[in-house]
Amino acid sequence: MGSKYLAQSNYKEKIVKAKIFTLRAITTAIVTLMIGALLSLEFDDWGWFSRSGSLVVINGIILTSHQIIQHMHNLSQYQQQRQSQFQRDWAHEDKHHLIRDDSENRWKSEKYGLYMLIVGTVVWGFGDLLNRI
């Protein structure tokens, strides 16, 4: 009975964390758009509002890629555990080698894809400012 309660507690905690993460992302998006609009009004240049839109896209990417971010965290923990673990059951290792390698490669691919989306969006929104620096 104690483990069932613990599992329900962990599940509820994950739901609360997900809701908080979502609320922060929405708040950040709204504030970003408001700042972009204020800068556009102040400088009479609506390019700033457009740029704020690219930042909202990055925020959306992070929000929708929350599972990828969790996979990156799990991969990091797995790699640390793997390096520090003394392996005694070689047959067990052989049986699960392909499964782990597939998951590890998929997680790395997701991580690099997320980075490419973010960098591409920043370049899209702010790349024309490089020659003004």
Among 50, 45, 103, residue whose Cα is nearest residue 72: 103
Q: Is residue 130 part of a domain?
A: no
3-class SS at 87?
coil
| Helix extents (H) in 1-130 | 2-43, 47-64, 66-84, 90-126
Q: Is residue 132 part of a domain?
A: no
Q: Is residue 120 part of a domain?
A: yes
Structural domain span for residue 38: 1-64
* Average pLDDT, 10 consecutive residues per value, the chain (133 residues): 66 82 91 95 92 92 79 75 58 55 66 82 86 76
Among 24, 55, 68, residue whose Cα is nearest residue 118: 55
Residue 98, pLDDT score: 52
